[in-house]
Amino acid sequence: MMFNIQLYSGTDTGLVRDSNQDCIAAHHWQEEAVALAIVADGVGGYHGGEVASRLAVDTIVEHLEKRVHQAHSGGGFAQHWMDDVLRDTVNQANRVILEQQQQTPELWRMSTTLVMLLLKGDEFALTHQGDSRCYRFRQQQLHQLTVDHTMAQEMLDRGAIDQQEFIQSPYHHVLSQGLGLGDELSVSIQQEPLQSGDLFLLCSDGLTNCVTDEGIQEVLNQPGETQPKIDELITRANDNGGVDNISVVLVEVND
Ligand code: CA
């Protein structure tokens, strides 16, 4: 079954930061029925964050482009193609960032989150690093597919703190995984069938720190075109302080 895929995106500096260190990409290879959505949220002194998120996104898009065309012109898509490609491109992006850190002393602390959704045929595959998220909106309900890679979440998961301590934890913004943090990258991948009507939302924490899941769900449930919903989400984040860069990519799946 081939689905009709539509991609929408928006990014905004917010009201407090003087630059946008988020980087996003959305691409559809129509002929091969492959679609990609990425949000990367860079951190690190000077312009390090901007460089890291841009390097991650450019590296991934470039390598994916090659792999799509190789599969298309060669022997077709191998059985575990999505899984292999996600692993390879994420690891490649990490290496490129680590190399750049060594070459450019003022960028030694740069790193970036990443959330990356790949669609092919009737399946999706998802991977992430850090606290950028992917949600699936299905039958009017919003469901978070990713679990943040933060120190607070990790402490909760291993029982070091309880739910109350988790809410008050000062470690929500400390990433336990990310690109540019080290050689050893733990990459986990979820793969599931698509359903007609699925809507995926990828975002940076500039959205989720300022708009609740209920708020996001409310906007997605509004009737009308999809692109204005991204504008509405960004407006709501800014109305609630706009303390960080805000990025949203929506992937619409229909018959
Ligand atoms: Ca951020």
Tell me the pLDDT tens digit for each residue of 17-57: 999 999 999 999 998 999 999 999 999 877 899 999 999 99
Using one digit for the tens of pLDDT, what is the confidence trace for 190-206?
Answer: 999 999 999 999 999 99
What length is written for the chain? 255
For ligand 1, the distance from its centroid to the CA atom of residue 204, given in whole angstroms, is 6
**171: CA distance to ligand 1 center in Å?**
14
pLDDT tops 70 at residue 177: yes
**Spatial distance between the Cα atoms of 15 and 133, rounded to a whole number of angstroms:** 21
**How far is the centre of ligand 1, averaged over its atoms, from the C-alpha of 206 (Å)?**
5
Mean pLDDT of 208-229: 97
Instruction: Write down the pTM of the prediction.
Output: 0.96
pLDDT score of 2: 79
pLDDT at 130: 97
Rounded to the nearest angstrom, the distance between the alpha carbon of 70 and the centre of ligand 1 is 35
| Maximum C-alpha span of the chain | 54
Contact by Cβ (8 Å): 93, 113? no
Q: What is the pLDDT of residue 169?
A: 94
pLDDT tens digits for 163-176? 999 999 999 889 99
**pLDDT range class, residue 1, cuts 50, 70, 90:** low
What band does 75 get if pLDDT is binned at 50, 70 and 90? Answer: confident
State in Å: Cα 30 to ligand 1 middle.
Answer: 31
CA of 173 to the centre of ligand 1 (A): 9
Q: Which of 158, 144, 119 is nearest to 35 (CA)?
A: 119
Question: What is d(CA 136, CA 128) in angstroms, rounded to the nearest whole number?
Answer: 14
What is the distance in A from the centroid of ligand 1 to the CA of 211? 13
Q: Is 56 left (phi over 0), alpha (psi -120 to 50) or beta?
A: alpha
